Amino acid sequence: MRVFNHANLSLQQLAAIADELRDRQNLNDVMRWALDDETGAFLRGVVSDVVVQDEFSHDVVIPFRDNLVLVFDTT
């Protein structure tokens, strides 16, 4: 999974997030990760928005720790 730094995070912060996302290959993996997380990084069970780009592509917005949101582009 490619991680883009639109929040001007430090290289260490970005690397930590990229490491957590390393094994996530699809939206199902992401949702299982978010729902099973016990660290408090996620608001349990919350997907704040799904933005429909077209009939095949969606952006899924999930609140994350430290006032960040993760946006997953799904096709």
Tens of pLDDT, residues 21-70: 888 888 788 877 777 767 666 665 566 666 777 777 777 778 888 888 88
Domain tally, the chain: 1
The pLDDT assigned to 27 comes to 78
Question: Could you list the residue range(s) of the whole structural domain that residue 35 is in?
Answer: 11-74
Rounded to whole angstroms, the Cα distance separating 41 from 35 reads 10
Angle at alpha carbon of residue 72, lines to 2 and 64, rounded to 5°: 100
Q: Is residue 32 situated within a structural domain? A: yes
Q: Per-residue pLDDT for 17 more than 80? A: yes
Q: Is residue 65 situated within a structural domain? A: yes
The pLDDT assigned to 55 comes to 76
Q: Is residue 45 situated within a structural domain? A: yes
* Residues 75 and 56 sit within 8 Å (Cβ to Cβ): yes
The pLDDT assigned to 1 comes to 76
Q: Is residue 4 situated within a structural domain? A: no
**Residue 50: which of 60, 40, 42, 41 has the closest Cα?**
60
CA separation (Å) from 16 to 2, 44, 45, 49?
13, 20, 22, 24
